[in-house]
Structure 1
């Protein structure tokens, strides 16, 4: 119990520092970073055929993901995006040309249309998810809501889990890891796609 409390306190401090660093970026820098990762699509572990990709709509100081979503759609891939519901529910919607639904600055925009069940993630050949920090073992620090940790229980074993973040957020020191944390298999930053070389034991 004490170890869990210490891990949580450490995570909160790391989140605070990471978000403060991100806030020094400008909207133009975030868009440029997003356009850069969109050009990295050829390096992603996608099958040769059209497939389903789970992704997300960026918010705030995150690397802008809309250019990447547009590029994936242009290549014919089906894109699933989170629908958060009450915040604890797990649901997905499909990316389309329709405008996103806006729920305020504290929540990401969501696709319009029907809400798909949590187990739709079983159809995803690639899962892109946000991260504040990722260490050399694939441990990922998110915003702390636990939504992705719950969602990822529905993905197919072996599906690539790629954390999207800024280059300086890929760190060497190990991050605190709790039993419910799901490690990622690679990172995607404006510097490119990088598989995680060390697996978590």
Structure 2
């Protein structure tokens, strides 16, 4: 099986599994992830965090975004551009989000440009699955691979997934950007090699 076909299969499998989760299970996972991430030293000290507003059955990030913002962290959220790249704008509380492209929630503040992610002290990235080497499987558009390529090598990049989405290995292609850590509800933060 080619890597691209293998990725599609893994993506479908994990998205289907997410759809079977009970709302209470999702809520508990969101609370656990929020509590775990808020005490990560790099996040506690971060002046700027690039994150994302979760959609659908993704691990919920709204409580985390609000908590980071309330404690004075400057939070950048993505805005999907027509070419599939990501622009970034500031999060100014729950009322600063509006429906965006492809069912996403995007900030309504002025855009700061695709390079704004390079100013982040920590980056939280969505994923459908992550392996123990840091290979991140997203939705398949390549938006986050482009964005993560702009992040310096010393910046902590964290994929946020459910417990069963941390796997031993995933198919990878040359353009895939690895993350440096993964956060799961019961496993907490795992720093990757």
Question: Is the alpha carbon distance of 1:119 and 1:107 closer, same or farther for their aligned partners in structure 2, counting shifts above 3 Å?
Answer: same
Q: Distance in 1 between matches of 2:144 and 2:163?
A: 21
* Alignment deviations for residues 129-152 of structure 1 (CA, whole Å, 9 cap, x no partner): 011111111111111000001111
Q: In the alignment, is the contact (CA less than 8 A) between 2:38 and 2:68 conserved in 1?
A: no
Specify which of 47, 53, 57 is matched with residue 49 of structure 2: 53
Which is worse superposed, 76-85 or 91-100? 91-100
Specify which of 19, 40, 55 is matched with residue 23 of structure 1: 19
Q: In the alignment, is the contact (CA less than 8 A) between 2:124 and 2:160 conserved in 1?
A: yes
Structure 2 residue aligned with 1:166? 162
Listed as ranges, the matches of 1:95-174 within 5 Å are 95-97=91-93, 98-103=95-100, 106-172=102-168, 174=169
* Alignment deviations for residues 72-97 of structure 1 (CA, whole Å, 9 cap, x no partner): 11221100100003251320111112
Cα shift at 1:50: 4.7
| RMSD of aligned Cα (Å) | 1.7
Question: Is the alpha carbon distance of 1:99 and 1:161 closer, same or farther for their aligned partners in structure 2, counting shifts above 3 Å?
Answer: same
Q: Distance in 2 between matches of 1:45 and 1:145?
A: 31
Do residues 73 (structure 1) and 101 (structure 2) align?
no
Unaligned runs of 5+ in 1: none
Q: Normalization by structure 2: what TM-score?
A: 0.92
Q: Distance in 1 between matches of 2:45 and 2:152?
A: 18
Unaligned runs of 5+ in 2: none
Which structure: greater strand fraction?
2
Question: Is the alpha carbon distance of 1:138 and 1:49 closer, same or farther for their aligned partners in structure 2, counting shifts above 3 Å?
Answer: closer
Q: Normalization by structure 1: what TM-score?
A: 0.88
Q: How many residues align?
A: 191
Runs of 4+ with >6 A deviation: none
